[in-house]
Amino acid sequence: MSDPGPSPLGPSPLGPSPLAAGERNLSVDEARAAIAAAIRPLARSESHEVPIDRAVGRVLAADVVSPIDVPAHDNSAMDGYAFAGSALVADAPTVLRAAGIVYAGRPHAGTVPAGQCLRIMTGAVMPEGTDTVVPLELVQVQGAAETGEVHVPPGVIRAGENRRRRGEDLAAGKPALVAGRVLRPADLGLAASLGLTHVRVMRPLRVALFSTGDEVVEPGQALPEGCIYDSNRFSLGAALARLGMEVVDLGLVPDDRAALAAVIERAVREADVVITSGGVSAGDADYTRDILAAAGDVAFWKVAMRPGRPFAFGPLKRPTAAAGGAPSWLFALPGNPVAALVTFYAFVREALLVLAGATAAPLPVLRARSTAAIRKRPGRTEFQRAIVEPAPDGNGWQVRLFGSQGAGVLRSMSEANALVVLGHEQGSVAAGDAVPVWLFDGLV
């Protein structure tokens, strides 16, 4: 079975180019592979420095090389007493004389003589002459904590324990973060722990977005008879924003040859990527395809999937060398609101990350037991809206398909928290079978 989830957007031998003119039937995996084979990421030079407190979600453009050893000194992993491990007696208490206290950030001057110890705080630099820390709770102290007699029972500690070594987390000169990473909170903490204030990130990808259709109306306006409000530009726009893309909102475009040509012309001037919805179904006016086809090397695919069959992809010509000769990539999605989002997740999301310079990590795919049988015929990939929840027996996850699976029922997408993805070769599923699931929380 070809599992659409983890399949990487990596090049694959596809025979004749799927970008060849005309309409082609492709599987979801073939379509993903064709997109991956065509696109090239932004040059790493298209980057700038940003303060680390504004870098979350950005794509790292250059390795972050540690300028220092972390930790910078051997230090104590525990609150306790530091001493030379060679003093430990095997089968009787080790008795040490406390000779002071050492705090984090205030290194001890001088060497600790054999037979002595220092009260030490977590994170304090290991004083010279010591290599071992016995935790406070393991010793008995007679007298004051800093001057008394410390009894270490036999067998509670071995020489060298509870000492964090200099450079143990990260050695100076080693890459702490690798270019291509989408920066997460811990990464920024790590950069700060190296003393850095800025990181070099890729410029965000500019994505032009518009909706098509004479019947599609801007929210906030009166709704004429037979019309619908534009939802795609808002669901897709939000998904793009979450992915860290810069959205160029080109609004609504009527089903009109000149209007479409004009918006494409503007889009390629302004953006690295052009995302449209509607107007690519077989029944749509021919000029949509004419204009898109004339604007570049656009291929129209009938992808064997449900929902989301009509889909167009390809490079659009750009008028100037402003973008360094790079094309603007068109993703023309179906108009149906569910199909638009499903095709976005299936084909566009990962491609945008790659274009933006990110190292695309495969989508995490959860396997959950289906609460009911699912009818499915082999030969297409199906994306079904579903609710994933903890199984009542406490054993893993179960998944329940959402009742209404119509491609236009956006509510099914909103109320669902996941997509069940039944691969191309997959047949019907019996109740209790494990099925692959894409969690919406992982998608954006």
- Smallest distance from Mg ion to CB 290, Å: 15
Applying CB under 6 A, does 230 fall inside the site for ligand AMP? yes
Residue selected from 116, 130, 231, 328 as contacting ligand AMP according to rule CB under 6 A: 231
Task: Return the number of other C-beta atoms located less than 10 Å from residue 250's C-beta.
Answer: 21
Q: Where in 254-365 does DSSP place strands (E)?
A: 273-277, 299-303, 305-306, 310-316, 328-333
Residue 398's binding partner among ligand AMP, Mg ion, none (Cβ under 5 to 8 angstroms by kind) is none
In DSSP notation, 412-439 reads: HHHH-SEEEEE-TT---B-TT-EEEEEE
Residue 234 beta carbon to Mg ion: minimum distance, rounded to whole angstroms:
17
**Least gap, CB of 292 to ligand AMP (angstroms):** 13
Taking the C-alpha atoms of 52, 58, 63 and 68 in order, what is their torsion angle to the nearest 10 degrees?
20
* Position 278 contacts Mg ion (CB under 5 A): yes
223 with 217: CB under 8 angstroms?
Answer: yes
**What are the beta bridge partners of residue 125?**
75
| Residue 308 is a binding residue for Mg ion (CB under 5 A) | no
Interface with ligand AMP (CB under 6 A), residue total 18
The 10 Å CB-count burial string (b at 16+, else e) for 111-134 is ebeeebbbbbbbbbbbbebbbbbb
CB 315 within 8 A of CB 328: yes
> Smaller CB distance to Mg ion: residue 75 or 212?
212
Q: Is there binding between residue 334 and Mg ion (CB under 5 A)?
A: no
Bridge-based pairing state of the strands 94-102 and 149-152: antiparallel
Q: Which is nearer to ligand AMP, 103 or 287 (CB)?
A: 287
Cβ-based neighbours of 97, under 8 Å, separated by 6 or more = 115, 116, 117, 149, 150
Q: Which stretch, 2-10, 273-281, 341-349, 429-437, contacts ligand AMP (CB under 6 A)?
A: 273-281
Q: Return all residues near 361 (Cβ < 8 A) that are at least 6 apart.
A: none
324, amino acid identity = G
Q: Is 277 in the site for ligand AMP (CB under 6 A)?
A: yes
Smallest separation (angstroms) from Mg ion to the CB of 213:
4
One DSSP character per residue, 81-133 reads: EEE-GGG--SSS-EEEEEEEEEBTTBPPPSBPPTTEEEEE-TTPBPPBT--EE
Residue 144 near residue 164 (C-beta atoms within 8 A): no
Residue 27, binding choice from ligand AMP, Mg ion, none, Cβ under 5 to 8 Å by partner class: none
Tell me the per-residue interface mask from 317 to 356 with ligand AMP, x by CB under 6 A, - otherwise. -----------------xxxx-------------------
Measured from the CB atom, the residue of 285 and 387 that comes closer to Mg ion is 285
Query: Is there binding between residue 281 and ligand AMP (CB under 6 A)?
Result: yes
Q: Mask 193-222, x = binds ligand AMP (CB under 6 A)?
A: ------------------x-x-xx------
E-strand ranges in 327-443 read 328-333, 366-370, 381-390, 397-401, 418-422, 434-439
Q: Which of residues 393-412 bind Mg ion (CB under 5 A)?
A: none
- The minimum distance between CB 219 and ligand AMP, in angstroms, equals 10
Residue nearer to ligand AMP on the CB measure, 83 or 345: 345
Closer residue to ligand AMP in complex, CB, 116/211 = 211
Q: Which residues bind Mg ion (CB under 5 A)?
A: 213, 278-279, 335
Q: Which residues bind ligand AMP (CB under 6 A)?
A: 211, 213, 215-216, 228, 230-233, 277-279, 281, 284, 334-337
